[in-house]
Amino acid sequence: MWTVVACLLPLLFVSVFIFGIQTLIITAVSVASCLLVEVASQKALGRKVTVADGSAVITGLLIAYVIPPGVPYLLPVLGAVMAIYIGKHLLGGLGYNIFNPALLARAFLLATFPVAMTSSWLPPLRGMSIFSRLGRPLDAISTATPLAVLKTQGMAAVSQQFGEVPKIYSTFFLGLRPGAIGETSGLLIVLAGLYLMCRKYITWHIPVSVLTAIALLTWIFGGPDYFGGDPLLAILSGGALLGAFFMANDYVTCPTGKIAQLIYGTGIGALTVLIRLKGGYPEGICYAILLMNPLSSVLDDWFKPRRFAPPLGGVK
């Protein structure tokens, strides 16, 4: 748990650099709220207090990472109650929850506070000088996310506000774009994910299948109005990388079998593209993971290894 926390912290440092101290405050409020709700829930339900295991800290970080950097401070507090008390402890505690707690909190906040959750984006602050060194005019930086611009105005507006495709690749990969607190820097997310793979905390099956499905289906069905069918832009422009490496791989809510993980990840990627193209919200990775969460045990049951034993009395 604490290794995952350490892998998530560089994303916070980059977010503070890009958006300012506001992101640090929101993250601190989210983590502190999750810790308090964790202790209160376990005491109220007569369970052993296990706040030192790090699970509440991870949930607090991830709640902050999937919300805009300009939301009111009350939102991460309410998100912590939904994630820890309702999504985790009322379903039996750690190891028994059906849904990813952080994403359940995000879905709750998006349904309850849709205006704040879809309009509280901040323009890059200290990153302004970096944009200018990259040859980007400062007035071209929008406070809307690339996916939001694409959904409402089309691909031409994305190019106008964020630059041509080659520049978009580099700036988005580094994290110099509006977005949720922890989803902007693709570089750090990939490095953290690779480290967790090397340490064997996660395997490649879910992230690779999620991203492959998003890339392939965007290329097939995206068309000129959806990033020109460009698979790389579809991956770099939203929360796909954060979801693939840190949300879909949640130990409790994902399958354990390798084949099951590949199908699970492919389903997440397919639903993400479907929601992005046909749904009302520009991003789809949150709901895609939540929709696939209840199928984890079913997939494990369908694709569990078949073991054959000789009949009693030995083989004749």
Predicted confidence (pLDDT) per residue in 3-47, tens digit: 888 999 999 998 898 888 889 999 999 999 999 999 999 899 888
Does residue 58 sit in the same domain as residue 99? yes
pLDDT in tens, 205-264: 999 999 999 999 999 887 776 777 788 888 988 889 999 999 898 888 888 889 999 999
Does residue 97 sit in the same domain as residue 160? no
Distance CA 44, CA 38 (A): 10
Does residue 153 sit in the same domain as residue 103? no
Considering the domain boundaries, does residue 63 fall inside one? yes
The rounded mean pLDDT for the chain is: 84
Final residue belonging to a domain, choices 119, 141, 159: 119
What letter represents residue 8's amino acid?
Answer: L
User: Mean pLDDT over residues 290-301, rounded?
Assistant: 90
Distance CA 269, CA 266 (A): 5
- pTM of the shown model: 0.85
Task: Please state, in angstroms and as integers, the Cα–Cα distance from residue 31 to each residue in 16, 27, 63, 282, following that order.
Answer: 16, 6, 8, 27
Q: Cα torsion at 15, 239, 197, 271 (round to 10°)?
A: 170
What letter represents residue 191's amino acid?
Answer: L
Distance CA 210, CA 248 (A): 9
Does residue 161 sit in the same domain as residue 263? yes
What pLDDT shows up at residue 125? Answer: 60
Domain interval for residue 64 = 2-119
Query: pLDDT exceeding 70 applies to what percent of the chain?
Result: 89
- Indicate the pLDDT class of residue 49, thresholds 50, 70 and 90: confident
DSSP, res 304: P
User: What is the total count of domains within the chain?
Assistant: 2
Residue with tokens 């990813």: 100
Considering the domain boundaries, does residue 135 fall inside one? no
Considering the domain boundaries, does residue 133 fall inside one? no
Distance CA 20, CA 151 (A): 27
pLDDT in tens, 213-223: 999 999 988 77
Considering the domain boundaries, does residue 314 fall inside one? no
Final residue belonging to a domain, choices 73, 103, 119: 119
pLDDT in tens, 163-196: 777 777 887 888 777 888 888 888 999 999 999 9
Does residue 237 sit in the same domain as residue 174? yes
User: HSE of 281 in the Cβ direction (CA atoms, 13 Å)?
Assistant: 19
